[in-house]
Amino acid sequence: MKVKKYIGETMQDTIFKVKADLGPEAIILNTRKFKKGFMGVFGGSRVEVLAALDEKKENQKTLNEISSLKELVNDLKKQWQADSFITGLSDELGLIYQHLNLQGVESEFRKNFIVELNNEYYDQENILKIACKKMEEFLTPPSPVEGDSSPRVVAFIGPTGVGKTTTIAKLTAYYALDEAKKVSLITTDTYRIAAVQQLKTYSDIINIPLDIVYNHEELERVVKKRIKNQELIFIDTAGSSWNDKLQLGRLKKIINHKIIDEVQLIISMNTKSSDIREVIEQFSSFKPDKIVLSKLDETVSYGDIINIKKKYNLPYSYITFGQDVPDDIQIAEPGVLVEYVMGDLYE
């Protein structure tokens, strides 16, 4: 056991010294007050504290300090490696790399992307234009709802608050009014009265049918009835936390691929990257065919447009960027997505 003596003006100050030196696991063995000065005369009072630290706990403290030091060294090493990578680049490539980093594009992709640009292209004056073109090729063509073939049933899923109901209203208005398609709506979101009322309002304005169903048996019956004289059927589902296993289980009973032609997962761009990954992992059991990127107007970081495509390779169908219906939605063209990611660098 390691024993040390500490002296201070007050008990509080002295105990603070003990904790700062030995840590919160320190044991106080003895305390006393005494007068400072010759024979205790002409001096102020002082506090003496004897404290000790168990050797095992002291060793653990040392190990923790070593661990923290290792983490710091590793962080510095990563930073040095990143700096070393940048120093070997031209000014133009360094600018692109730093921009992608600020946008939140994951390290592996942005480094590989820059390396490919550096190895394949030597026209530095047009490197920004070349980078944007290469990124467009990576994102591949969009995959909007196909309304030109046989009747199509499309379900929209996603967490609470991503804008499913508003997105469906926008698409319904576009296909019914602009494309003159026969569209009908079905909502299974009976948990939120506001969502049902919102769709009811839009369906009345556009003059299209709306059905409210409470289980998968009713859904199957309504779809079979509507599909006889409709070209598009959009299904709104209840939002669910990706951690709510019960609600996800209920949703699985609704999403039946035998009667649903495609499932679109809506991801809000104002969600943290780590949460986006968790959302996609949890909703992957529904086998989504496409991804809608919503709320692009509520963030300034668009790196996840690249990260999602890189990790899951699902086609994007639409992007949304406001609450106006039927506006504030468009097909997720690669050029538009790259413009969001590259910002002022876009050419």
Per-residue pLDDT tens digits for 40-82: 455 577 888 888 877 665 566 566 666 666 665 566 556 545 5
Name the pLDDT band for 215 (thresholds 50, 70, 90): confident
Q: How many helices (H) and strands (E) does the chain have?
A: 12, 11
Mean pLDDT of 256-265: 90
> Tokens for 10?
């007050």
Kindly give the pairing relationship between strand 329-331 and strand 316-320: antiparallel
User: Does the pLDDT of residue 122 top 90, yes or no?
Assistant: no
Residue 43: predicted pLDDT: 59
Comparison of pLDDT for 230 and 31, the residue scoring more: 230
**Under DSSP, is residue 138 helix (H, G, I), strand (E, B) or coil?**
helix
Name the pLDDT band for 243 (thresholds 50, 70, 90): low
User: Does the pLDDT of residue 227 top 60, yes or no?
Assistant: yes
**Under DSSP, is residue 291 helix (H, G, I), strand (E, B) or coil?**
strand
**Under DSSP, is residue 148 helix (H, G, I), strand (E, B) or coil?**
coil
d(CA 10, CA 229): 87
Name the pLDDT band for 33 (thresholds 50, 70, 90): confident
Whether the CB-CB separation of 137 and 333 falls below 8 Å is answered with no
Residue 77: predicted pLDDT: 55
Per-residue pLDDT tens digits for 184-199: 999 887 666 677 888 8
d(CA 52, CA 5): 9
d(CA 337, CA 172): 23
Strand order in the sheet with 232-236: 210-212, 183-187, 232-236, 152-157, 262-268, 290-294, 316-320, 329-331
User: Does the pLDDT of residue 150 top 60, yes or no?
Assistant: yes
Interhelix angle 91-103/127-139, nearest 10 degrees: 40
Give the DSSP letter string of 256-272: -TTT-SEEEEEEETTS-
Residue 237: predicted pLDDT: 87
Residue 302: predicted pLDDT: 96
Assign domain 152-331 to a CATH class.
Answer: alpha beta
User: Does the pLDDT of residue 84 top 60, yes or no?
Assistant: yes
Which pairs with CB-CB distance under 8 Å and at least 24 residues apart come from 208-211?
A: 208/172, 208/176, 208/183, 208/184, 209/184, 209/185, 210/184, 210/185, 210/186, 211/184, 211/185, 211/186, 211/187
Residue 56: predicted pLDDT: 63
User: Does the pLDDT of residue 20 top 90, yes or no?
Assistant: no
Mean pLDDT of 225-245: 82
DSSP secondary structure letter of residue 242 = T
Domain ranges of the chain: 2-53, 79-139, 152-331
Average pLDDT across the chain, whole number: 84
Whether the CB-CB separation of 73 and 44 falls below 8 Å is answered with no
Highest mean pLDDT among 23-32, 169-178, 232-241, 249-258: 169-178
Residue 131: predicted pLDDT: 92
